[in-house]
Amino acid sequence: MEIIDLITPESVIGALRATSKKQALQDLAEKASGITGQHERAIFDVLMERERLGTTGVGNGIAIPHGKLPSLDRLYGVFARLEEPVDFQSIDDQPVDLVFLLLAPESAGADHLKALARVSRLLRDKAACEKLRGTDSADALYALLTDLAENRAA
């Protein structure tokens, strides 16, 4: 499962305005709803339930919220660069400005974990994150994400 299999240019948000973790997740659920055809509320509820289990703020300004929905046909990703960092109750207590949402079908099994690992590896790269933080153009972010992921795979 490659990054290019998870996102499209339409699933990248260049400058998301959110003042809280909840608002960021609501806005991401809205975007994901348009891409997946799933109900926005169902996506939001899955994301909030996952957050109740433990934060998806993994540190260094990055969050990878994720969840499973029974009626999805494949894995989907939504990437957002936040205009201003928000508190995500991250493991390092740092606010988050880069968010990669991952949604999977209930039946995804190991593919869900592989996709999470792939996204995590990409966003652990400090140089890659600096490049992502350097633009608020959705098209440029999509190109960066796919280029960075391709170069890491090579």
Q: Which residues are catalytic?
A: 66
Contact indicator for 103, 139 with CB cutoff of 8 Å: no
DSSP 24-44: HHHHHHHHHHHHH---HHHHH
Phi, psi values for residue 55, rounded to 5°: -65, 150
Question: Helix 126-133 vs helix 110-124: angle between axes, to the nearest 10 degrees?
Answer: 80
At residue 102, φ and ψ (nearest 5 deg) are -125, 125
- Collect contacts of 41-46 with beta carbons under 8 A, ≥24 apart: 42/69, 43/67, 43/69, 43/103, 46/103
